[in-house]
Amino acid sequence: MEYRYIGKSGLRVTPICMGTMSFGSWSDKKESFKILDTAYDRGINFFDTAEVYPVPPNAETVGVTEKIVGEWIQTKPRDSLIVATKVAGAAAGWFVPPVRHGMTAIDRFHIETAIEGSLRRLGTDYIDLYQVHWPDPIVPIEESMEALGRLVQAGKVRYLGTSNETTYGLTKANTIASYEGLAKFQSIQNNFSLLHRRFLDELADACRQENVSLLPYSPIGGGVLSGKYNVPEVPKGCRFGDYHYHDNPRQRAMADRFVNEGTLELPSLL
């Protein structure tokens, strides 16, 4: 199995990370364990979750994914796994995080509260990669990085990452961390696929220059690029059947061209 390092960290991971956001919604515990076991048996050592999972996020099921993953972790040697999870940021625009009554922020209180909950649900002493799920436009980044750095110093977190962040947010955070002697973000988890190429701008250059690894999520556009939504009736039990993401005509056209022609360059549709 091939391995890669995340940023300039000691995290040596497989190129494929097993995402878990459907565990507890579309996939029950039995099916989730089967998926996790299959991934592990085939050599994958990198597993990603979040305190707000599963999706669609709601107050009744929030935290269930971490509990499922936590129970599964107990069946494997802990040091054979690289476990990543996330602290919910401020309201993400399309939904309010269903934790702490929707009053989330990337401040000391919420970061410390979130990590304790994740550690408890995952049944582990530490998180290998702890990520900010969404940037916080209000709380000063100095406070956020100081609070996250305290988790590293306490041994509850090995390394830090961010998600859904901009070039400015990433470089600002890591510049402050450098000045203050704090832990930096080693990774950024952003949406990236043929349908979402926004990473191919100055953010990609910043990551190369600063040795920050991209952890792309939704690499096949949430299944859109598989072509399964290019049918008269949307398949039942599929993720974007609920999100209505497939209703974008341009994305369906891109999926058609990708599936039928195998082409990667779609300049007329971008």
Give pLDDT, residue 231. 74
Q: What is the pLDDT of residues 145-156, one digit of tens each?
A: 999 999 999 999
Q: What is the pLDDT of residues 3-51, one digit of tens each?
A: 999 999 999 999 999 999 999 999 999 999 999 999 999 999 999 999 9
Give pLDDT, residue 252. 72
Does residue 267 or residue 67 have the better pLDDT?
Answer: 67
Domains in the chain (CATH in brackets) are 4-219 (3.20.20.100), 220-270 (no CATH)
Residue 62, amino acid? V
Give pLDDT, residue 244. 60
Q: What is the pLDDT of residues 84-130, one digit of tens each?
A: 999 998 875 567 899 999 999 999 999 999 999 999 999 999 999 99
Q: Does residue 269 surpass a pLDDT of 60? A: no
What is the pLDDT averaged over residues 170-184?
98
Give pLDDT, residue 266. 42
**Given pLDDT bands bounded at 50, 70 and 90, which one contains residue 72?**
very high
Give pLDDT, residue 265. 55
What's the per-residue H, E or C state across the chain? CCCEECCCCCCEECCCCEECCCECCCECHHHHHHHHHHHHHCCCCEEECCCCCCCCCCCCCCCHHHHHHHHHHCCCCHHHCEEEEEECCCCCCCCCCCCHHHCCCCCHHHHHHHHHHHHHHHCCCCEEEEEECCCCCCCCHHHHHHHHHHHHHCCCEEEEEEECCCHHHHHHHHHHHHHHCCCCEEEEECECCCCCCCCCCHHHHHHHHHCCEECCECCCHHHHHHCCCCCCCCCCCCHHHHHCHHHCHHHHHHHHHHHHHCCCCCHHHC
To which residue do tokens 């039995």 refer?
A: 30
Does residue 270 or residue 206 have the better pLDDT?
Answer: 206
Give pLDDT, residue 268. 35
What is the pLDDT averaged over residues 220-236?
78
Give pLDDT, residue 224. 82
Give pLDDT, residue 226. 79
Give pLDDT, residue 92. 59
Give the active site residues. Answer: 53
Q: Does residue 195 surpass a pLDDT of 90? A: no
* 8 A C-beta contact, residue 44 and residue 84: no
Does residue 42 or residue 242 have the better pLDDT?
Answer: 42
**Which of these ranges, 83-87, 111-115, 184-188, 217-221, has the smallest mean pLDDT?**
217-221
The mean of the pLDDT values for the chain is 90
